[in-house]
Structure 1
């Protein structure tokens, strides 16, 4: 998701997206462990997306 799209979500939507990205990261790590993941950059991108979501979530909760 784009940062603008994330900022438009409410707290519940951000938590849902955070949960989905966490599950995606878990699946990517399993694929890497079983040597089925060819593009390992996906793990890095997913971790960055999780960090973006957590940052926006913290900003919304602080308001």
Structure 2
């Protein structure tokens, strides 16, 4: 998902999500959000650089 998003932007990511049924999309998004928050809080610099400002803005 990340690779598709990086290469094709949000339109390709949305096209990929449309291929899954609703329950799988919800599960995927929950796990992805959980992973992003976990890695950011643990200090993984790949996540901190991009997501920390977004998480701060949202909270």
* TM-score normalized with structure 1 length: 0.47
User: Higher relative CO (CA 8 A, sep ≥ 6), structure 1 or 2?
Assistant: 1
* TM-score normalized with structure 2 length: 0.50
